[in-house]
Chain A
Amino acid sequence: MSPDRLVYMANQIGKFFAYQKKDEIVPGIANHIKKFWDPRMRQAMFAYLDAGGEGLDPAVQEAFAVLKRKAEEGAPAESSLQGT
């Protein structure tokens, strides 16, 4: 999947959560991506992150790092902004 497009989409998600409660920002982004992105999109971003993650907003970078770590641990990310 094109990293440019995925980076743009992830940063868009980041911009929404940037205005939520501080302790919700990173979990909110991570949870949204976990719930709505096909695994191949997340995998592409993990690889992109490993390559430096250029262009990703800091909170989004952090969220992908959380997701990657949790994927390796097999645990879900959570947030009160569940959505559908």
Chain B
Amino acid sequence: MTLVREIDYGTPQSKAEKTVTLTIDGVEITVPEGTSVMRAAMEMGTQIPKLCATDMLESFGSCRLCLIEIEGRNGTPASCTTPVADGMVVHTQTERLKRLRKGVMELYISEHPLDCLTCSANGDCELQDMAGAVGLREVRYGYDGARHPDPGLDASNPYFAFEPSKCIVCSRCIRACEEVQGTFALTIAGRGFGSVVSPSQEQPFFDSECVSCGACVQACPTATLNEKSVIEIGTPEHSVVTTCAYCGVGCSFKAEMRGPELVRMVPWKDGKANRGHSCIKGRFAFGYATHKDRILKPMIRAKITDPWREVSWDEAIGYAASEFKRIQAKYGIGSIGGITSSRCTNEETFLVQKLVRAGFGNNNVDTCARVCHSPTGYGLKTTFGTSAGTQDFDSVEQADVILIIGANPTDGHPVFASRMKKRLIEGAKLIVVDPRRIDLVRTPHIEADYHLPLKPGTNVAVLTALAHVIVTEGLIDEAFIRERCDFDEFQDWAAFVALPRHSPEEVEKVSGVPAEAIRGAARLYATGGNGAIYYGLGVTEHSQGSTTVMAIANLAMATGNIGRPGVGVNPLRGQNNVQGSCDMGSFPHEMPGYRHVSEDATRAMFEALWGRPLEAEPGLRIPNMIDAALDGSFKGIYIQGEDILQSDPNTQHMAAGLAAMECVVVQDLFLVETANYAHVFLPGSTFLEKNGTFTNAERRIQMVRKVMAPLNGYEDWEITQKLSNALGYDMHYTHPSEIMDEIARLTPTFTGVSFAKIEELGSVQWPCNEKAPDGTPIMHIGGFVRGKGKFVITEYVATDEKSGPRYPLLLTTGRILTQYNVGAQTRRTANVDWHKEDVLEIHPFDAENRGIRDGDWVKLSSRAGETALKAEITERVAPGVVYTTFHHPNTQVNVVTTEFSDWATNCPEYKVTAVQVMPSNGPSEWQEEYEELTRQTRRIAAPLVAAE
């Protein structure tokens, strides 16, 4: 294995279709119009020396190293800023150019410290490379340049160091922050020799606006910005391309290694989801994989009050299997179930649901999508015919109007947010529908044209009001509707949304959104060109989550914004493989490929291959499992990589349900909160330790490649296989590719998918079958999967979770950039330096009324329970609304959230909880009790020492 080295073409690829032909160093080459001479030369294999140019950034023309000569033109222009032209004759290496380049390099080197042997970038430094490339042998100006005095190392960021004395002021870092990330955190301060890269107002990186995406570090040609891991360990020597295990964007990375040690994660330019970009989590927050908290040996205990006992794999698996068999013998086939992990691979989730359906003999299988995007599955399947987003991420580059509802992409999906910001900076219009002023409402060079700060729980009312304007003002795309949708249903829907009670003026009374803003937003979306809707959990996690998804689909169909690039309905999926876990049949009513368990032909196909009869009735969803546990009919569960105690609503109800079970098996990296109630702990493997595939939010199936041996001994699919075999349902896979082959045989949208196909294409978007052998980037082109698009009546039904005198505020929960989901991974990295604890955002008006100051402890209480945390006073939330995150178990905000849920899917209503907030002295009684419970249930007995 070697280090994967990507070619740097110097400037971005031109997207022009027209080509031009020129001659470079006597060789004729044809390239797209708009290509730089530098790139054209590189495409034929000639690297023109360069320092300020890199193909992730637009050309800049400052270093003066990439000079060329062009016949018939005067001077020596920079090849990075010179576009190709038909008939152009270019020379990249002449005596004149050699002399000029050498002179330029002399100036650079005279100002650069020559500590190359001890420099962290030794061997990986473009300045060093270019000195060699131009044949620099002497520096006439000496080596004591004005920039040598060390202005000080900035080591404030936990992941990378900034050493200004090594800076050559190429501005690549600044341009990366602007062009790739879109944060504009860096600039050049000072003039002449005093020029220095400045984070924000000459602040340390950690205190600046920098979001630690790593783009600047990646862009830096010297050791000025360098990963601390490289400084500490040294440069990597081999690398493996794999897929990030954080959010649903699915960024491709090169895992760069030195031996078995991971040195750094570098975003891969060929990654079609991220196009070479990254965020703080994927780029830097991988330390959890080797954190001391990681459990590497299986453990069992008879009661949760007992300390854990480390045992062999055989004993742990055998104990779990015997307990499951005992429970089924005593309580019935349906008394056990399983939860698949959206953090695990497709192959692993497929295997867990197979174990449940064929091994357990029931359909009691569910996944984390229950609490996030299950309404997306319901809503889009009903209206369009497919339970997934319609576009690829590249589509945003052609959007003219972007409507974001209930999503905060800069925190939740930061790499896609950067691509979105790029388009917005280019001029696309923006509508934000969100109770909070998310960053995109106003951020450098971006300002939303409309922000509709609706009252939590009124999504359907606002969306129907948008539809009201579009229909009553004649802004529909009738030709599209007549051709592509059921026109009778459209007419019913149009009559419904046109009712006066859906007018913006009426809806303003319930939503709090000014009618004129709704009207303006509706007109913009319907008439502004390509309209693309992006949404998140602020849509789905409501009692009307599924209705909201269908209301969004209605809007897109009514305006013809479906079935081509630049438009569409795009759910931003939460976990790395939540799309995949749903595709793989993780719901209790669906087999892989979203086919209902009651379909005889489907079941027959699976039964023939799996050799077991399959249950035709749906199984229990997670909340149903917990209710059934309390009822006494559900007694055992196998949970792979999901921390339901922390992530699911009404923690105390969840805890009671888990405590009522007789065998809880948790397979995870750490003793997560759910493991407090477990009887068997099976140590899991990280994404770095396994092979398989993840599917991201754009239906893109990408390879996960093993970069180190599993520290626990087994990949997760191997553990599931062991459990299945112990239960008497034999599985004999030797590699995950065999599991994917089985998926392809059983799933019509996956028939063309194989590891070989993914290796060949880099990634593939389902459906991938005989109709679409290379996959389907954009869905519903020419027609909907279900046939005619279905308009659905979406009446607004107010949630039963209402604020009142006892609980006058509405709590909504969400995530923050540096933390991920329940925080089990990111809390075990330096990301905690940015977010040590969950805090409660509260508006100054509400805070003042309660005598709360910034940083005070406050008690947050609801009908379900109470917890305490510190207050942050901010106008990001509206009066009457408070907000917090759910990343820390010592806050465990889900103690407060209720069991109200989406009518169709039971997706919890996390986004609306009536609460009261009052000053507090510190943690609540419940928090103190929970801390003690955690301490008790995490005890691990000392291993028995054999008598001498």
Closest to B492 in A: A21
Main secondary structure of the interface of B (DSSP, over half): loop
Chain B 577-615 residues near chain A, CB threshold 8 A: 587-590, 594, 596, 598
Question: Which residues of B are found within 8 Å of A82, using beta-carbon distances?
Answer: 381-382
The answer to whether A84 touches B618, judged by C-beta atoms less than 8 angstroms apart, is no
Contact partners of A21 in chain B: CB under 8 A: 492
Query: Which B residues lie within 8 Å of A19 (CB)?
Result: 496, 793, 795
Binds A, one of B418-426, B625-633, B773-781: B625-633
Give residues of chain A (1-59) contacting chain B, Cβ–Cβ below 8 Å.
1-2, 5, 9, 12-13, 15-16, 18-21, 32, 35-41
Closest CB in chain A relative to B797 CB, distance in Å = 5
Q: Give the contacting residue for B618; candidates A9, A36, A80; CB below 8 A.
A: A36
C-alpha gap A56/B594 in the complex (Å) = 31
Q: Are A84 and B387 within 8 A (Cβ)?
A: yes
What is the minimal beta-carbon distance from A37 to any residue of chain B, in angstroms?
7
Whether B382 pairs with A83 at a CB distance below 8 angstroms is yes
**A-B pair number, CB within 8 angstroms:** 78
Whole-angstrom distance between the Cβ of A78 and the nearest chain B Cβ: 11
Q: B627, A5: Cβ atoms under 8 Å?
A: yes
Q: Are A12 and B903 in contact (CB under 8 A)?
A: yes
When C-beta atoms are compared, the residue in chain A nearest to B486 turns out to be A80
Write out the residue numbers on chain A whose beta carbons fall within 8 Å of the beta carbon of B726. none
B617/A39 in contact, CB under 8 A:
yes
Query: Which of B381, B496, B594, B618 has the most chain A CB atoms inside 10 A of its CB?
Result: B618
Do A40 and B628 have beta carbons less than 8 Å apart? yes
Query: Would A38 and B381 count as touching, CB distance under 8 A?
Result: no
A43 to B624, CA, bound (A): 14
CA of A15 to CA of B793 in the docked complex: distance in angstroms?
A: 12
Q: Is the CB of B903 within 8 A of A15?
A: yes
B656 to chain A, nearest CB (A): 12
Q: Tell me, in angstroms, the Cα distance from A12 to B633 when the chains sit together.
A: 24
Partner of B382, one of A1, A76, A81: A81
Q: What are the residues of chain A within 8 A of B904 when measuring CB–CB? A: 13, 16, 32, 36, 83
Are the CB atoms of A40 and B334 closer together than 8 Å?
yes
Residues of A close to B905: CB separation below 8 A: 36
Cβ distance B699 to chain A, nearest Cβ, rounded Å: 15
State A10–B789 Cα separation when bound (angstroms): 27
Q: Which of B588, B589, B633 has the most CB of A within 10 A?
A: B589
- Cβ of A39: which chain B residues have Cβ within 8 Å of it? 617
Contact across chains for A83 and B620 when beta carbons are under 8 A apart:
no
Q: Is B747 an interface residue (CB 8 A)?
A: no
- In the assembled complex, B918 has its CB within 8 A of some CB on chain A: no
Q: Are B906 and A9 in contact (CB under 8 A)?
A: yes
Cβ-defined partner of B903 (8 Å) among A13, A38, A80:
A13
Nearest B residue (CB) for A32: B904
Interfacial chain B residues near A2, Cβ < 8 Å: 627, 630-631
List of A residues within 8 angstroms of B382 by Cβ: 81-84
**Contact between chains at A38 and B587 (CB < 8 Å):** no
Query: A18 — which chain B residues lie within 8 A by C-beta?
Result: 795
Please tell me the number of chain B residues within 8 Å of chain A, measured between CB atoms. Answer: 42
Query: How far apart are the CA atoms of A41 and B588 in the complex, in Å?
Result: 14
Residues of B within 8 A of A32 (CB): 904
A35 engages B793 (CB within 8 Å): no
Complex Cα distance, B378 from A76, in Å, reads 20
B586 to A: closest C-beta gap in Å: 12
Contacts of B589 in A (CB 8 A): 35-36, 84
Contacts of B543 in A (CB 8 A): 12
CA distance A9 to B590 in the complex (A): 20
Residue of B nearest to A18 (CB): B795
Does chain A have a CB within 8 A of B231?
no
**B334 contacts A38, CB within 8 Å?**
yes
The chain B residue sitting closest to A13, CB to CB, is B903
Give the distance to chain A from B386, nearest Cβ to Cβ, in Å: 9
Query: Which A residues lie within 8 Å of B547 (CB)?
Result: 16
Contact A76 B334 (CB under 8 A): no
Tell me which of A20, A37, A80, A84 contacts B587 (CB under 8 A).
Answer: A84
Tell me whether A38 and B588 are in contact (CB under 8 A). Answer: yes
| Alpha-carbon distance between A39 and B589 when the two chains are bound, in angstroms | 12
Q: Assess whether B619 is in contact with A38, with CB atoms less than 8 Å apart.
A: yes
With a 10 A CB-CB cut-off, give which of A16, A76, A80 has the most chain B CB atoms: A16
Q: How distant is the Cα of A15 from the Cα of B800 in the complex, in angstroms? A: 12
Q: Does B618 lie within 8 Å of A37, measured CB to CB?
A: yes
Mask, B101-134, CB within 8 Å of A = 1, is: 0000000000000000000000000000000000
A84 to B382, CA, bound (A): 7
| C-alpha spacing A40/B899, complex, angstroms | 20
List residues of chain A with CB within 8 A of the CB of B598.
Answer: 35, 76
- Minimum CB–CB distance for B367 against chain A, Å: 13
Complex Cα distance, B382 from A19, in Å, reads 16
Known contacts A16-B797, A35-B618; A1/B903 CB under 8 A: no
What residues of B have a CB within 8 angstroms of the CB of A13 in the complex? 903-904
Identify A83's interface contact among B378, B797, B901, CB under 8 A.
Answer: B378
B546 within 8 A of A: yes
Closest Cβ of chain B: how far from A81's Cβ, in Å? 6
Residue of chain A at shortest CB distance from B382: A83
CA distance A33 to B618 in the complex (A): 10
Residue of B nearest to A24 (CB): B793
The reply to whether A35 and B596 contact each other, CB–CB distance below 8 Å, is: yes
A80 to B492, CA, bound (A): 15
| Residue pair A41, B624 in contact (C-beta under 8 Å) | yes
- Chain B residue numbers with a CB within 8 Å of A35 are 589, 596, 598, 618
- B377 close to chain A: CB less than 8 A: yes
Contacts of B590 in A (CB 8 A): 84
Of chain B, the residue at the smallest CB distance from A84 is: B381
- Chain A proximity mask over B751-788: 1 for CB below 8 Å, otherwise 0: 00000000000000000000000000000000000000
**Whole-angstrom distance from the CB of A77 to the nearest CB of chain B?**
11
Query: Is B792's CB within 8 Å of the partner chain A?
Result: yes
Which residue, of A20, A32, A36, A84, has the highest number of chain B Cβ atoms within 10 A?
Answer: A84
* B899 contacts across to A, CB distance below 8 A: 5
Report the minimal beta-carbon distance from A51 to chain B, rounded to whole angstroms.
17
The smallest beta-carbon distance between A67 and chain B, in angstroms, is: 12
Asked if B631 contacts A15 (CB within 8 A), the reply is: no
Q: Are A81 and B492 in contact (CB under 8 A)?
A: no
Q: How far is the CB of A73 from chain B (nearest CB, A)?
A: 15
Give chain B residues whose Cβ lies under 8 Å from the Cβ of A15: 797, 903
Q: Mark B277-309, 1 if CB is under 8 A from A, else 0.
A: 000000000000000000000000000000000
CB distance from B365 to the nearest CB of A (A): 12
Nearest chain B CB to A16's CB is how many angstroms away? 5
Contact in complex: B631, A1 (CB < 8 Å) = yes
Give the one of B543, B594, B795 with max A CB within 10 A: B795
Residues in chain A near residue B387, CB distance under 8 A:
84
Taking each of A18, A82, A83, which has the highest tally of chain B beta carbons within 10 Å of its own beta carbon?
A83
Q: Is the CB of A38 within 8 A of B377?
A: no
Cα A83 to Cα B376 in complex, Å, equals: 10
A13 to B751, CA, bound (A): 35
Contact A83 B381 (CB under 8 A): yes
Chosen A-B contacts, 16 in total, with CB atoms closer than 8 Å, are A2-B627, A5-B899, A9-B906, A12-B903, A16-B797, A19-B496, A20-B792, A32-B904, A36-B904, A38-B364, A38-B624, A83-B379, A84-B378, A84-B387, A84-B589, A84-B590
Q: Can you name 6 extra interface pairs (CB under 8 A) apart from A9-B906, A20-B793, A35-B596?
A: A16-B547, A16-B797, A32-B904, A38-B619, A83-B378, A84-B377
- What 7 A-B pairs come out closest when comparing CB atoms? A12-B903, A19-B795, A84-B381, A83-B378, A83-B382, A84-B377, A38-B620
